[in-house]
Amino acid sequence: MIAAVSALGMTAVLGGCGGAGSGEVTLKLVAADYGDSGANSSQKYWDNLVAEYEKAHPDVRVDVSVHSWNDVDREVKEMVAAGDAPDLAQIGAYADYAAKGELYQADELLSIPTQADFVAQLADAGEVSRTQYGMPFAASTRLLFFNKKLFAEAGLTPPTTWSELASDAAALKEEGVKYPYALPLGPEEAQAETMQWLLSGGDGYTSEVGTYGIDSPQNIRTFTWLKDELVDKGLTGPVAPGKLDRAAAFAAFARGEVGMLNGHPSLMKIAAARGVDFGMVPMPGKESSTRSAMGVADWMMAFKKNGHRREVGDFLDFVYDEKNVLAFSREYDLLPVTASASKTMSTAARDKDLAPFLEELPTAQLYPVGKTSWAQVSADIKQRIGTAFAADGDPATVLTELQKQANSEESAE
């Protein structure tokens, strides 16, 4: 989802005990890194959290290994396949493990107050067949960022409709802006930019009954407009959308080279550090501002293989304590996944910059993470969607091919 990159590793399972006769339990947690440098690596967050927990629980040790978002889901998958599942994994998808019966249910682990404190929409997204297995760990929403200086120089106001966005982009191009609208559809996070545009056109990845609807008429119209009115008119910059990754687009925005792009909260810190004066507005829609923003959640899950249900549950109650949820959210400019922390953040002066994103969360649309096929469908989108905007690309053809692949993945489950 959501922010920067990490690096995953694994530590040896100690068989549920420490030294001979000690009765000590060691839990293994694999987590993703939300930091953008060694100075704010998630490893430091977890090390501090674990030290505090272990001080109060001398019979439990927690080994945390933190690694890159580029690797973490694949690494956990390989660990599970090798019979070396961690006790806990904090990664991007849970449903495939839940469907195979490899995860504890949330209500088998958490105290009632902890489970009840999850933001309802996120808790629902953690369900497979109406049973919660995925515990939300981090969340974010997206807004349209714009460079105030570039907009002022071109005499522009922030867009609320597609036609205004295209008009603004054309004016920015006339002023010599390198990326009037940055469209990152490279393999790093193309599924996010894709979903934001599908929502702005009034549809999304799935139909009202929950089946995939990637090639719906609305989605085809949305992507056809995007290619005809932005990409083919040279309004998305010198790098082809299918070659432009989110991190590169964010870096270009921080250099003052981008007029507009979709961004999540971490972009605020990146841009501010480089002195970029920016504004944020809801994503424009076909006729007006998009009714539903895109939301992203990352997940905590607990594997049954090593047992330790009681110890895992007690540790998770600590992880989801309000002060710890707030500390993590504030460190990495993310949105809290619990109602108690959200309430605190919504009124705290120190968190006012996150308020626009927090306001979007209750109505935000999330990826269809409850589908066991979503991990593979997402990977397919990352690899293929950019080809729709090549010089000889055809959005309808690409969306139809992705729909066929999604149907195949769904029927194989």
Q: Cβ(26)–Cβ(162) under 8 Å? A: no
Return the pLDDT at 7.
31
Among 329, 344, 365, where does a domain finish?
A: 365
Q: Check whether 19 has a pLDDT greater than 50.
A: no
How far apart CA 30 and CA 76 sit, in angstroms, is 8
Q: Check whether 12 has a pLDDT greater than 60.
A: no
Structural domain contains residue 13: no
Structural domain contains residue 17: no
206 and 236: one domain?
Answer: yes
Structural domain contains residue 244: yes
Return the pLDDT at 93.
87
Q: Cβ(97)–Cβ(413) under 8 Å? A: no
Domain count, the chain: 2
Q: Check whether 4 has a pLDDT greater than 60.
A: no
Return the pLDDT at 6.
33
The per-residue pLDDT for range 164-205, each reduced to its tens digit, is 999 999 999 999 999 999 999 998 889 999 999 999 999 999
**pLDDT bucket at 117, cuts 50 / 70 / 90:** very high
How far apart CA 359 and CA 290 sit, in angstroms, is 14
**0.85 exceeded by the pTM?**
no
The per-residue pLDDT for range 34-91, each reduced to its tens digit, is 887 777 889 999 999 999 999 999 999 999 999 888 789 888 999 999 999 999 999 9
Return the pLDDT at 115.
97
198 and 277: one domain?
Answer: yes
321 and 281: one domain?
Answer: no
Domain CATH code at residue 244: 3.40.190.10
Q: Check whether 378 has a pLDDT greater than 50.
A: yes
Return the pLDDT at 17.
35
Q: Check whether 10 has a pLDDT greater than 50.
A: no
The per-residue pLDDT for range 234-288, each reduced to its tens digit, is 999 999 999 999 989 999 999 999 999 999 998 998 999 999 999 999 999 998 7
The per-residue pLDDT for range 293-332, each reduced to its tens digit, is 889 999 999 999 999 999 999 999 999 999 999 999 999 9
Q: Which range marks the domain in which residue 232 is found?
A: 143-292+373-412
Q: Check whether 130 has a pLDDT greater than 80.
A: yes
Distance, C-alpha 342 to centroid of its chain: 18
